Chain A
């Protein structure tokens, strides 16, 4: 497959933005600037970008509790996201959602979800809208190896097949459901084989490889847009951080995270590939790095300067009725 320079630069920029956003979330959380429970997706950037790079605002995604990367990949405003995660009134959800409930419907981002397996049934609904109104749009649910074991996800998979919905089930298998190994929680030897058992095309890809993931996604999207129904993709990947920020990760092996950062970094893998192919240069990507760093810096400084919600006016707004 050949890729345009614009495409490659966009892919790299988005992956790098996610990486820096997540790393900065960790330090801002540790510094006390971000409240609550925050789950970061650094290490898994290639999947989010590969899944979303060909989508427009009318294509829908449903995310998970580990949703920042999906938001960024879908085009959500990074500054608005940082404000939201900091709980500010001018955040994407007016500070009412936070990291686990961030959404931007205008961008086709149906929402992060703090209930494991909460998203895929809803994403079926978005796919049903697309099918019924013949919009040609697709819907993508992000799942983990953990949510694969929720009844809600399996019900959604079966219904998507029954109704031949344009729904791509993206399973990010990062090896851990919270602190439990994927190979323990998944009773089957292969999640992909289980996915195929639902009667949909199912593939397993190296989720650290942007290009491999993108190509599987491209095929699935084309099939869905052409009425060919759902697809399941299992993308094998690595989580660089804990289940949540501050997780001591006692369940991981010695040097496991350090090794993953050194040897299984999807950004490094991307850079190596595009340089080898002579598609992009270090200079081009370093320039993007600098712009991304500046953007994240701006997001944090604007986030910290953003107004806090006012309980007098904001606590009872956006409720259908007040008593």
Chain B
């Protein structure tokens, strides 16, 4: 927990609850915040219960009964229309939070994101702002197969004009969501679907976590481990196991991958001289490759060993549990990579 929130009253909240609370409190504070997407409330036009889903993972539950269907809008299955409307509304006075149920669905509406939202501020000479948040679930582990399990953050991180947020715990999720809603640029807020039930102490009141500032869940001096999203959990597990053997790992969670806290990574590598990057995305042209190149260019003289990347292989996400488990980087692979850079 950062210094600025230390005085705040906290309670145990899941990742799901933390995001939900951020949305509740920001909608309360700012009447221009709206939520829209497929099943964000659920049951529209039906004969059953109102607010039947609250999002397929329950993240937006309870918003609609409180703020009405005027501000919590169930949409048809039309991703281009959802995201486009959110972006256009952001250009004209609202602060929409649009949901892409599964971030894989970005394929249906990518033009609105990369050709439209991402470019407006620059292309229009700084005269346009696009304060939109596009939420989406990412990652594997649910046996959801090739079209519902991708980690596509490298694709959007590549694009100038987009901010990309990837919280790894409930505390960060709330503070980053608040920051995202208040930000004047398009923010892609990527929630790893395997983490929704993970809980930690989270302040009850509103707070922001700035973009571009990494967190340091474990501090150490032998090896730097940079991990993204759910991989932070595995990096911490690996660090704790290795600590018992006297190997000291410095685990860095960038929290936002665009902007990226390069400085913290370089400072850590200056101390450790060894870098392992853990990311669930495919390796080529990825964030892991990007961080590796930054350190190779700017931290070359600190390095005592080649950089190691622990990523998914260059395949779509397989369905069968045995294959998916082999696909997603494991704690054992992180440990093996740490040993390798140590020459152990």
Contact = CB atoms under 8 A, between A and B. Distances in A.
Contacts of A35: 143, 319-321
In terms of DSSP, what is the predominant structure of the interface of chain B?
A: loop
Contacts of B314: 319, 321-323
A201 to B, nearest CB: 25
Contacts of A319: 314-315
Interface stretch (A53-61, A122-130, A176-184): A176-184
B84 to A, nearest CB: 10
A150 B78 contact: yes
Interface in B125-162: 142-148
Given A181-B44, A251-B48, A37 B39 contact: no
A303 interface: no
B217 interface: no
Contacts of B105: 115
A182 to B, nearest CB: 8
B77 A315 contact: no
B322 interface: yes
Interface in B269-297: 283-284
Interface string B54-81: 0010000000000000000011111111
A36 B144 contact: yes
Interface in A170-220: 176-187
Given A96-B318, A309-B323, A311-B322, A185 B48 contact: no
Given A35-B143, A251-B49, A101 B319 contact: yes
A151 interface: yes
Given A97-B145, A311-B323, A314-B323, A117 B77 contact: yes
B322 A310 contact: yes
Contact of A315 (B48, B108, B142, B315): B315
B42 interface: yes
A247 to B, nearest CB: 9
A52 B321 CA distance: 32
Given A96-B318, A256-B47, A179 B76 contact: no
A254 B41 CA distance: 19
Contacts of A37: 142-145, 148
Contacts of A97: 145-146, 319
B95 to A, nearest CB: 24
Contact of B46 (A181, A187, A316): A181
Contacts of A314: 318, 320, 323
Contacts of B78: 149-151
Q: Of A114, A152, A310, A316, which is in contact with the most chain B CB atoms at under 10 Å from its CB?
A: A114
Interface string A26-39: 00000000011100
Nearest to A97: B319
Contact of A151 (B80, B315, B326): B80
Chain B, interface residues (CB within 8 Å), range: 35 or more
Interface string B312-332: 011100111111011100000
A301 B323 CA distance: 22
B210 interface: no
A37 B144 CA distance: 6
Contacts of A114: 104, 144-148
Given A37-B148, A151-B78, A185-B76, A179 B315 contact: no
B76 A95 contact: no
A167 interface: no
A88 interface: yes
Contacts of A178: 38-39, 42, 53, 56, 77
B77 A116 contact: yes
Interface in B11-68: 38-39, 42-49, 52-53, 56
Contacts of B45: 180-185
A248 to B, nearest CB: 8
B343 interface: no
B48 A250 contact: yes
B107 interface: yes
B145 A115 contact: no
A268 interface: no
Q: Of A35, A96, A179, A310, which is in contact with the most chain B CB atoms at under 10 Å from its CB?
A: A179
A179 B53 contact: yes
A181 B323 CA distance: 37
A51 interface: no
Nearest to A308: B322
Given A101-B147, A179-B53, A115 B108 contact: yes
A323 B320 contact: no
Contacts of B145: 36-37, 97-101, 114
B148 A100 contact: yes
A36 to B, nearest CB: 4
A315 B148 contact: no
Interface of B: 38-39, 42-49, 52-53, 56, 74-81, 104-105, 107-108, 142-148, 283-284, 313-315, 318-323, 325-327
**Top-5 shortest CB links A-B:** A184-B45, A181-B45, A253-B47, A98-B319, A311-B326
9 contacts: A35-B143, A35-B321, A37-B143, A37-B145, A97-B145, A99-B145, A117-B77, A178-B38, A180-B76
